[in-house]
Structure 1
C-alpha cells in the first residue's frame, strides 16, 4: 500500500504542494485533476523521487522517503507512463519493452494482452499514437512496478481513441494488481476511469472520494465547478427538502448549510420547454452537441442555469421559455451567497 503523509513540496519560497495526505489500495486507481499549475505533475515527480520533498513522508512496503532520508528513484520500483510515450526510436517494440529486463516473460505477457504481439519488430515511427502508448504501458508493467504513475497518458491522442484506450489501460492496471495515480485534465476521463478522484487547488487536495461522491456531493463550490457544468440556484432547505422558485427537490447539506442555501444544479437536473404562458426564463445561448443541446437560460431573479436537452428540442437565443427542476436525487446544498450578474459565454 502506498501511503503519503503531510507531503509538501517547495520551489524556493513558493509552496507548490501543501500537506498532501492519501493512501492507495493494492490495485486502486486514483485520478488527480485540477487547474494548470495546481501541483499535479509535481506530486508525481515527488512520488517518483525525481524532486526532493520539503516536508512529510512517502511509504511503500520496505522503504520510507522523507526530506532527510531521500530514497532514489531506482530504489522505489516505480513505473511511469508519459504523454509523449518516451520510447527509444532506434529500438523495436520488443526491445523497448524488454529494455534492461533479464526475464522477458512478463514482456511477452503484456505485449500479448495489450494487442502488440504482432508489432514486436516494428519501430516506434511505424506505430500510431495509440499503439505507442500501449507499448509504453507494456514496458512499464513488464518491469513489475510496485506502483504506477501516469502523467496525462492520453492527451496526445484523438478523442475517439482516448475513449477506448482509457479502458484498455484501466483493465491492464487491474490485471497487474498494481496501484496507480493518473493525472489528467479530462474530467470525463477522471470520473469514468478512477476508483477515486482527487481534486487539487493551489497545491491543496480539496476533496478525495469516489467519482460519484465528488460529482454529486462536492466539498466546495470549486470542486462542483471543476467537475462538469455547474449552476447554483437559491432555495430554502427545510429538513431534507429544498424549496426553489422552479420546483422542490431533495437536498443534502454541505458543510452544515441550512436555511437559505444555493443548490448545485447540473444540466441534466432540469427540463426546458417553450410555452405560451408561465414562462420563467430567457434563453441566453445554445450550443449544439450532436445528440443534445446545451442551453444557458436566465431566470427572473437573475440566476443563470445551464440545461441539457435532446437535440430535437430547439429553442432560439432571446426566446422565452419555461424551466423546471426534474431530478429526484438529492442535490448538494451550500450556504447561500449573493447572486452574481449572469454573463453570456
Structure 2
C-alpha cells in the first residue's frame, strides 16, 4: 500500500532515450532536446560518485524540460499525422516528471545515477522519488465521507498512519482471525543466521532442516529466500544431498504461463518443495488450500536490499520520524514474511507449519509484528 502510493508520486527519466531522440527528431524538436541534454550533462559532470542524492530538484534542467514539452506539443499539434511513438512516449514521461518536480519538498529525494556508456561517454538516470506520500493521500481521505483501508498486514499502526496520512481520529478495528493458533505451528529457528556474511554457513543447516520436516510430514511446501542466488544455492545442495525430494523453482522473469505451471505443481496428491523469492509473485495473492500446501520455510527476514537509494530513504525517515531503520527496512520486511506465511492456512480445516529461519525472528521487536493469533515457539537446538 505504501509502495504503491509512493510510485504514484515518483518519476524518472533516462538519458539514453533522450540521446536516441536527438538523432531522429525534426529540427525544432532536436534543438530543444539538445538544450535539455546540455543541462543534463552539466548535472552529472560535477557529480563525483556513480550515485548521489540531492535535497532539491534541478531548476535549470526542469526549465529546459518544460521548454521541450512545449516544443514537442507544438510539433504534435502542427503535424498530427506524423506522431512518432518513441517521441510521444518521452513526451508523456517528461510531462509526468515535470509535474512531480512541482510537488518536490522534504518528502522527496532527487537522485542521479551515472553509468559508463562506452568509451568516455557518461549517461545518467534522473529520479524524483517520493518517500512519504501522506501529503497527497491525506486530503483525499479527509474529503471523503468515509474510507476503509483493509489489509491483513496494517501493523504497526503508526507506520501506516505516518506514511499514508491517516487522520488523528482514524478508527482502528483489529478483526480477530477466523483461524486458530492450533492450526498453524509457527517455529522460529534461531540457531541459523541468514545474514549475507553467514549465507554460506547457513546452506547445509537449512537443507537439513527442510529435509527433516519433509520426512516427518511429507507434502507440499514453499521455501522462500531473499534472492535468486540464495535460492539457487540451497536448491542445488538439496538436490545433491536429498535427490528423492522433488523440487521446483521460481526463475527470473517468469511469464504468466510459467507462473501457472509453477503453481500447478501443488496438487492434492503431489509432494515436494517449491522454491521462491520472498516478495515475488508467490509471496502473496495465491491460494493453495488443503493438501496443496501444508507448510512454508522462510529463510530471510525480508529486509529490503541495502543500497544507496534505501539508505537515502533511511536517512529521510530518521529525520522525519526518528525511526529510519524500522520504517525503511524492518516493517516492510516483516510484512512480506507475514504475507508469505499467510499462504499456508487458507481455510478453517487447514493445518500447517511455518518455519521462520533466522535468529532475528526471536527478537521481541520482530515478534511484536507477527499476527496476534500466532503462537511462535523458538528452537535453538
Write 1 or 2 for the structure with the bigger share of helix.
2
Ranked by relative contact order (alpha carbons within 8 Å, sequence separation 6 or more), the top structure is: 2
Write 1 or 2 for the structure with the bigger share of strand.
1
Instruction: Tell me which interval the TM-score lies in, with the shorter structure as reference length.
Output: under 0.3
TM-score, normalized by length of structure 2?
0.25
TM-score, normalized by length of structure 1?
0.27
